[in-house]
Structure formats: C-alpha cells, structure tokens
Amino acid sequence: MADISYDVVVVGAGPAGSIAARHAAMAGARTLVIEEHAASGSPVQCTGLVSSKTLDVCGIEPGAWVYQKIKGAHIFSPDGSSISIGGEKVRAFVIDRRIFDRLLLQRAAEAGADVMMKTKAVGLGPGLRPEQGLESGHGSERARGKKVLEVITNGKRFDISAGVVIGADGVQGSIARWSAIGQVQKVLSGVQIETAYDVENTDHVEVFLGSDVPGFFAWAVPVSENTARIGLCVDPARTHLSAYEHLRRFLHTNPRMMERSGKGCSDMLVGCIPLGPQSRTAADGVIITGDAAGQVKPTSGGGVYMGALCAKIAGEVAAKAALSGDTSAGALMEYDRRWREVVGKELAVGMRIHNVFGRLDDGDFNELMRFFGEPEVLELINTYGDIDHPSILLGKLVTKAKAGRMLGVGRIALRAMMG
C-alpha cells in the first residue's frame, strides 16, 4: 500500500481518540483515526458508569444504550453498616460502552475524520529533517518535519506521515513510550463480572470499602432489577493476590454478595486503571491523551469524563500546530498547560485522597463512615457531592470535621488535602 499523509493521526478509537479526532477535524486538519480492533468499544473494559456531565462534554444525548439512571449510592463499611447518599437528581448513567464508543467515532467521521479499523501502530519515528528531501520526490517532501507512524493492516506494513500523532491508545499504549514521554505514576488492576443480582435500588450503585479490597474498592452497579456489574480494583503494590482472586473471595465471603448475587456470569472483563499523569504529555510531533496520559479520576477510576475534556483540547492544539507548521514540543506544550488548567488540580487532590485511602485500615473506614452518616454531614455530601469534582466536597468535610472536633476524621481528610 502506498504511504499516506495526514495533518493529525490519532492512534486509538476509544472515547479520547474519537473526541480528539472530531475536534482536530472540526479545526480544519486532515485527520485520520486508526484502531487495532475491528470495532471501537470492543472489548469493553469498563463498568459503564458515567456522570451526566460526561454526556454533555461528549455532546451526546442519552439513548436506548442507557440502562439505568443513577441518583445515589449505598456505601458499605467493613463492619457491614452502610450509608445511603444521593437524592432525586439523576447524577450518572449506566451505559453500554460499545454503543457509546461507536457513537463517538461516528461523530468524528461526521466531522470529516477518516477511520481505519484493524490497523495497529507498531512503530513511530521522526520524519525527514527540514533540510532533507527537497530533491527526493514528492513523498519525501511530505514527510519533512513530520512524524512517521508505522502501521500494520491486513498483515501489510506501511507508513503514515503525520504533522502530529495523538496517542489515545489507552493504558497499555505505546505512543508515550516511543516518544520518551514515560509512564503514568500507578496502575491498578481491575476485574468485573456481569451476573444475576437481587438489586435493592436500580437507581443506586453499591460501593464496598475495606481491607478486602486493598488500595481501592468493590462495586455492584445495576444493569436491571436482577442483573449487576460486580467488580473491584486493587493496588498491586498492596496485595500479593490478583484482582480476580480478590473478586472470587469477595463474592464468597461478603454477606451481601452471598445473599444477593447469583452463580456464574454472563460477561467478564479484566483491565487496568492508570492513575497520575506523566510530568509532560507532549513531545516533538506527539500528544498523549486519555488513559494513555493518566487522565483518570483517582478517587473512582473513571476515565471517560476527564479523558473527554482533555481530548477535546488535544484535538484543537494538534490541529492548530499541524496547520501552522510548528509541531515542536514547545508548541504542543500548549495542550499540556491547557488540560492541567482544566483538570490538573482535581487530579492532584484526587491522587492525594487515593493515597490516603490506600493507607486506611478497617477501623479508619468504619470511623469515616460513621462521620459520613451524621445527618449534617450527609446533607453536605448530598449538596456538594460531585463524582467528577470531589475536591469541592472534601473542602466542606474538612471544615465540618474540624468544627465537630472529630480529630481522627479531620486528620484523615487533612492528610488528603495537604499531601
């Protein structure tokens, strides 16, 4: 196949890739998205719980692919007690990620981006230097000052030259590594099944805290009245067992699971959640976004919302740089600055909360939950709780803990705030 050339080439057709491609194309750049799988959104590696704001950011109206509207959560402490938070407002949706991802890719194509499925990036190199190629023919001229992405499609290798390559290739992505951008700070291991479950409220998710799930938490997210996605994530640095082994134990020992969940499952997924972005997310001719850049909420592991916000900026900056002819790291760092202005503080606070939570023992969790269960505190949670921006609530809780002389809890929250 003949070599081809684009202003912007996006590697990966997950949410971040499709959104970046859409915005690059809308900004006038000739844009291509490549995806190694035959369809975007498959295999699914997600619970499919996204905030209502996520759909707004993605510019998508809820459709038949929204299975449940979520208004709150039941949170369970290690001692089995629970609190219920939320209210009448719909705060999140349980969605079908396969359809969601395809809708986003369709939007990118409608904006003018070309799409190549079953096309895998296998290498990334510099294009010719500006002084090279003048006498070497048209193909070489096109590659001057560009990146050259080596890909395989239908068993054939060929090169694509790109003004800017956007690495939206997920947690296992290669573009960051090939560009010496480095790795995210931490990677959690997750596993989830979809199974029969006697759901108490279809508009509430269930969250389980404690040392059974080292470094993170377990969940049961309703799909219907009698089906849920049950899963957990663990921090591999805090356990010698796999996430799968933790889930097996959780299903067999947690009293609520023993009472409500069925045997076997209709679907199972394993996946990783990257936390903590690299110190820079742009290099010469390269930008990384979404999971590849650790743009994931460290408190919940949700990556679609943050990834969408950042990918939009990635597409805009990549297009501007490619069209202006300056695709240097210096020009592309505009992306790094802009996304950090939007979500940098939230990610940093979230990372501190995550790190503190990872150090809590069951006694701490029980104490924290008693504090959360106090009527005035519950009111604060229900008023200020925002799964996309937990730092707002955290500030209110710290003040409350101090005023109530709940020094143990205050200390926990303060450690999270101050690092």
Ligand X SMILES: Cc1cc2nc3c(=O)[nH]c(=O)nc-3n(C[C@H](O)[C@H](O)[C@H](O)COP(=O)(O)OP(=O)(O)OC[C@H]3O[C@@H](n4cnc5c(N)ncnc54)[C@H](O)[C@@H]3O)c2cc1C
Which residue number, 357 or 371, has a Cβ lying nearer to ligand X? Answer: 357
- Is residue 23 within 8 A of residue 312, CB to CB? The reply is yes
206 binds ligand X (CB under 6 A): no
192 binds ligand X (CB under 6 A): yes
- Among 103, 106, 108, smallest CA distance to 23 is for 108
Q: Which of 4, 48, 147, 213 binds ligand X (CB under 6 A)?
A: 48
Name which of residues 111 to 150 contact ligand X (CB under 6 A).
Answer: 120-121
Q: Which of 7, 9, 10, 14 binds ligand X (CB under 6 A)?
A: 14
Residue 133 CB neighbour total at 10 angstroms: 18
**Strand, coil or helix: what is 130?**
coil
Q: Is 223 exposed, middle or buried (0-12, 13-18, 19+ CB in 10 A)?
A: buried
46 binds ligand X (CB under 6 A): yes
Burial state string for 143-166 with b = 16 or more CB within 10 A and e = fewer than 16: bbbbbbbebeeeeeeebbbbbbbb
17 binds ligand X (CB under 6 A): yes
Beta-sheet strand order (sheet of 82-86): 82-86, 72-76, 204-208, 218-224, 227-234, 186-196, 267-275
Each residue 307-346 as x (binds ligand X by CB under 6 A) or -, in order, gives x---------------------------------------
350 binds ligand X (CB under 6 A): no
Please name the residues in contact with 168: beta carbons below 8 A apart, sequence gap of 6 or more. Answer: 10, 11, 12, 14, 16, 17, 20, 288, 289, 290, 292, 311, 314
98 binds ligand X (CB under 6 A): no
**Strand, coil or helix: what is 370?**
helix
347 binds ligand X (CB under 6 A): no
298 binds ligand X (CB under 6 A): no
35 binds ligand X (CB under 6 A): yes
**Judged by CB under 6 A, which stretch of 21-29, 138-146, 167-175, 178-186 contacts ligand X?**
167-175
Each residue 212-231 as x (binds ligand X by CB under 6 A) or -, in order, gives -------------------x
Whether the link from the prior residue into 43 is cis, omega within 30° of 0, is yes
Minimum distance from residue 365 beta carbon to ligand X (Å): 21
Beta-bridged to residue 126, according to DSSP, are 147
State the Cα–Cα distance between residues 326 and 41, nearest whole angstrom: 33
- Is residue 222 within 8 A of residue 260, CB to CB? The reply is no
Minimum distance from residue 21 beta carbon to ligand X (Å): 11
Which residue number, 189 or 366, has a Cβ lying nearer to ligand X? Answer: 189
108 binds ligand X (CB under 6 A): no
Q: Which amino acid is at 408?
A: G
Which residue number, 172 or 383, has a Cβ lying nearer to ligand X? Answer: 172
Q: Which of 5, 45, 227, 261 binds ligand X (CB under 6 A)?
A: 45
Tokens at residue 343, please? 């979500």
Name which of residues 385 to 414 contact ligand X (CB under 6 A).
Answer: none
12 binds ligand X (CB under 6 A): yes
- Contact residues for ligand X, defined by CB under 6 A: 11-17, 34-37, 40, 45-50, 120-121, 168-170, 173-174, 190, 192, 231, 271-273, 290-291, 296, 301-305, 307
